[in-house]
């Protein structure tokens, strides 16, 4: 019975498509009614019972009945009922966290390239060169698989961004050209990259040297020195060497140019807030439906489908019980079975409009009763409670350091001091966090050696200290923060955990 769920959407996926419609505009009362009606169909159609079923009708909505007053779905009894309960719970929230997120527009891409152009001038570089990948996606909306479906190929297709002076405003603007295999030029145009005018292409024939073609094009005409190119960190080595071999002065990613992507716009922040808050909410709503006997894999599958039902696209999901969580990134096979005193660690990420969430919660299942104040918990439980609090305090201290001009190292060291003072220093085995954006892991990296990087307003980070006790359990809390000048950073995960029974 329990084996029915697979690691992939599989059979349970059949339940989710009917919720897809809410992706477009989940906020009108009409759509909310549709969602509720769908949930109703689901219950009726499949005949599963959720212990306390919320079922709003159009009339009750029209009468202004508040769905929050209805009791919520509690733990289920089999994997399908578990999933149904989790999906209904997340939909019953009305998905308010999605409300302020809007997709990135052409003007945003334009603005990024203009900021890049200004950074190139500041770094005394004549052009930035990047091939399809995350950075190309950031500036030109094409990822590596969107350009090369089968495998990364050997023919260079490069975006070349140069600074130009706008005669009327005197400002630095971008001027972008693509070096493209001649026979692929039309395909490059068909990508519909975010430019307001027709893209400029320098084509190269199969038997030409593409780097010489670029060098002799009008792109670098009128330059009084050997063109200095900055290549992105994802640029493959043979292309860098090719550029160097024909006489370009090639330098690596650094300084102001790297900072362009690190500093998020208001629109990016709202997407990050939406997807990270929504991911935490999915964990919370799923948790209410847990029952003894579920495996780590079954929970991961249901959490993935809960995220999908809420319009997000999960891309990693680590669910670990007790001693299996002493490896921060897991590695065990997902078969461990849930029991009342199991400490559940979930680290999960999803995408929304191309941006990542990356959050972690550690908690007890809802069917473990919280010990009352006057009753001493068992030593096993007491240790879990103590470690949970230490990691929480460590996270609090690291967050306090997330202000403009603090070093990346200081954020890590603040968390590490709490954990070390508590006697668990050697069990906090990884850095405290990293930047987050279109990738879950982006620079700058918050490790205790990174004294050279200063935090800037607009950077977004994880804070994720942990304690890992081999053969016992692991605890990690992870939230997302936005650096805001000298103020406390803003939380982009809605709310931090309140305790092991309220993650």
Ligand X SMILES: *[C@@H]1O[C@H](CO)[C@@H](O)[C@H](O)[C@H]1NC(C)=O
Within residues 322-361, the interface with ligand X by CB under 6 A covers 323-324, 332-333, 335-336
Quick one: 175 or 215, whose CB is closer to ligand X? Answer: 175
Please tell me the distance from the alpha carbon of residue 501 to that of residue 396, in angstroms, as a whole number.
19
**Placement of tokens 């950075």 in the chain:** 135
Span of 103-111, 248-256, 280-288, 301-309 interacting with ligand X by CB under 6 A: 103-111
Q: Which CB atom, from 351 or from 496, has the smaller least distance to ligand X?
A: 351
* Residue 344 Cβ vs ligand X, minimum distance, rounded to whole Å: 13
Question: Near ligand X by CB under 6 A, which window of 98-106, 178-186, 375-383, 444-452?
Answer: 98-106
- Give just the sign of the alpha carbon dihedral 394, 350, 459, 277: negative
At its nearest, how many Å lie between ligand X and the CB of residue 105? 5
* Least distance CB 127 / ligand X (angstroms): 10
Q: Looking at residue 458, what DSSP letter applies?
A: T
Residue 489 beta carbon to ligand X: minimum distance, rounded to whole angstroms: 12
Where are the extended beta strands (E) located within 209-363?
Answer: 228-231, 249-252, 313-321, 344-352, 355-356, 359-363
| Residue choice 140, 156, 194, 311 for contact with ligand X (CB under 6 A) | 194
- 219 near ligand X, rule: CB under 6 A: yes
Whether 158 contacts 203, CB under 8 Å: no
Choice from 404, 417, 420, 491 touching ligand X (CB under 6 A): 404
Exactly one of 205, 233, 486, 502 binds ligand X (CB under 6 A); that residue is 486
Q: Which residues contact 244 (CB under 8 A, 6 or more apart)?
A: 250
Beta strands per DSSP E along 368-496 = 433-435, 442-446, 460-463, 466-469, 473-476, 479-482, 490-491
How near is the Cβ of 194 to ligand X at its closest, in Å?
Answer: 4
- The residue from 4, 100, 405, 429 that contacts ligand X (CB under 6 A) is 405
Give start and end residues of each alpha helix (H) in 149-209.
Answer: 185-190
φ, ψ at 296 (rounded to 5°): -55, -45
Q: Do 262 and 459 touch, CB atoms closer than 8 A?
A: yes
2, 14, 164, 340: residue in contact with ligand X (rule CB under 6 A): 164
Q: Is 416 in the site for ligand X (CB under 6 A)?
A: no
User: Cβ closer to ligand X: 16 or 175?
Assistant: 175
Q: Which residue's structure tokens are 């370009």?
A: 248
Rounded least distance, CB 467 to ligand X, Å: 16
Number of residues located near ligand X, criterion CB under 6 A: 20
Contact of 382 with 375, CB cutoff 8 Å: no
| Residue of 65, 105, 153, 502 that binds ligand X (CB under 6 A) | 105
Q: Is residue 177 part of the contact set for ligand X (CB under 6 A)?
A: yes
Site for ligand X in 280-309 (CB under 6 A): none
Of the candidate spans 99-107, 114-122, 267-275, 461-469, the one that interacts with ligand X by CB under 6 A turns out to be: 99-107
What sign results for the dihedral spanned by CA atoms 419, 421, 423, 429?
positive
CA atoms within 13 Å, Cβ hemisphere of 12: 29
Residues 6 or more apart from 20 whose CB is under 8 A from it? none
Distances (CA, A) of 47 to 71, 201, 291: 20, 59, 19
The yes or no reply on residue 106 touching ligand X (CB under 6 A) is yes
Contact 440, 356 (CB under 8 A): yes
Near ligand X by CB under 6 A, which window of 101-109, 286-294, 441-449, 494-502?
101-109
Indicate which single residue of 151, 206, 218, 374 sits in contact with ligand X (rule: CB under 6 A): 218
Q: Which is nearer to ligand X, 219 or 318 (CB)?
A: 219
The residue (of 78 and 339) whose beta carbon lies closer to ligand X is 339
Q: Report the alpha-carbon distance of residue 185 to residue 327 in Å, rounded.
A: 48
Nearer to ligand X, 52 or 216 (CB): 216
Q: For 337, which DSSP code?
A: B
Binding site for ligand X (CB under 6 A): 104-106, 141, 164, 175, 177, 194, 218-219, 323-324, 332-333, 335-336, 404-405, 485-486
């Amino acid at each position: 019975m329990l084996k029915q769920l697979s690691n992939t959407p599989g059979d349970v996926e059949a339940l989710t498509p009917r919720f897809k419609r809410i992706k477009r505009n989940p906020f009108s009362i009409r759509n909310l009614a549709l969602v509720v009606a769908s949930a109703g169909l689901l219950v009726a159609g499949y005949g599963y019972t959720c212990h306390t079923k919320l079922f709003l009708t159009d009339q009750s909505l029209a009468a202004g009945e508040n769905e929050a007053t209805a009791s919520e779905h509690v733990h289920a009894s089999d994997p399908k009922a578990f999933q149904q309960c989790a999906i209904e719970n997340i939909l019953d929230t009305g998905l308010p966290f999605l409300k302020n997120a809007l997709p990135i527009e052409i003007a945003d891409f334009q603005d990024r390239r203009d900021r890049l152009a200004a950074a190139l001038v500041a770094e005394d570089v004549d052009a930035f060169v990047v091939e399809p990948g995350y950075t190309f996606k950031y500036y030109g909306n094409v990822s590596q698989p969107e350009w090369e479906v089968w495998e990364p190929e050997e023919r260079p297709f490069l975006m070349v961004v140069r600074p130009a002076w706008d005669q009327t405003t005197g400002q630095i603007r971008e001027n972008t050209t693509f070096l493209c295999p001649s026979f692929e030029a039309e395909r490059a145009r068909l990508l519909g990259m975010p430019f307001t005018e027709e893209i400029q292409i320098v084509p190269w024939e199969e038997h030409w040297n593409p780097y010489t073609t670029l060098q002799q094009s009008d792109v670098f005409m009128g330059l009084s020195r050997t063109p200095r190119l900055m290549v992105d960190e994802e640029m493959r080595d043979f292309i860098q060497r090719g550029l160097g071999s024909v006489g370009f002065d090639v330098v690596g990613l650094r300084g102001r140019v790297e900072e362009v992507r690190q500093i998020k716009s208001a629109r990016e922040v709202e997407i990050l807030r939406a997807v990270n808050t929504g991911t935490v909410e999915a964990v919370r709503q799923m948790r209410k439906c847990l029952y003894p006997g579920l495996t780590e894999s079954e929970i991961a599958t249901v959490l993935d489908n809960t995220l999908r039902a809420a319009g997000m696209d999960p891309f990693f999901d680590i669910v670990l019980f007790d001693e299996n969580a002493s490896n921060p990134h897991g590695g065990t096979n997902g078969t461990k079975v849930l029991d009342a005193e199991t400490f559940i660690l979930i680290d999960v990420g999803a995408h929304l409009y191309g941006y990542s969430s990356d959050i972690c919660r550690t908690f007890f299942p809802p069917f473990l009763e919280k010990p009352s104040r006057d009753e001493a918990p068992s030593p096993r439980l007491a240790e879990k409670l103590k470690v949970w609090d230490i990691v929480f305090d460590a996270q609090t201290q690291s967050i306090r350091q997330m202000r403009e001009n603090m070093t990346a190292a200081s954020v890590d060291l603040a968390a590490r001091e709490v954990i070390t003072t508590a006697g668990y220093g050697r069990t906090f085995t990884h850095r405290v966090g990293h930047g987050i954006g279109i990738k879950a892991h982006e620079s700058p990296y918050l490790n205790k050696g990174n004294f050279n990087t200063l935090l800037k307003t607009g950077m977004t980070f994880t804070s994720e200290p942990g304690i890992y006790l081999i053969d016992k359990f692991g605890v990690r809390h992870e939230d997302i923060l936005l650096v805001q000048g000298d103020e406390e950073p803003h939380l982009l995960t809605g709310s931090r955990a309140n305790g092991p029974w309220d993650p």
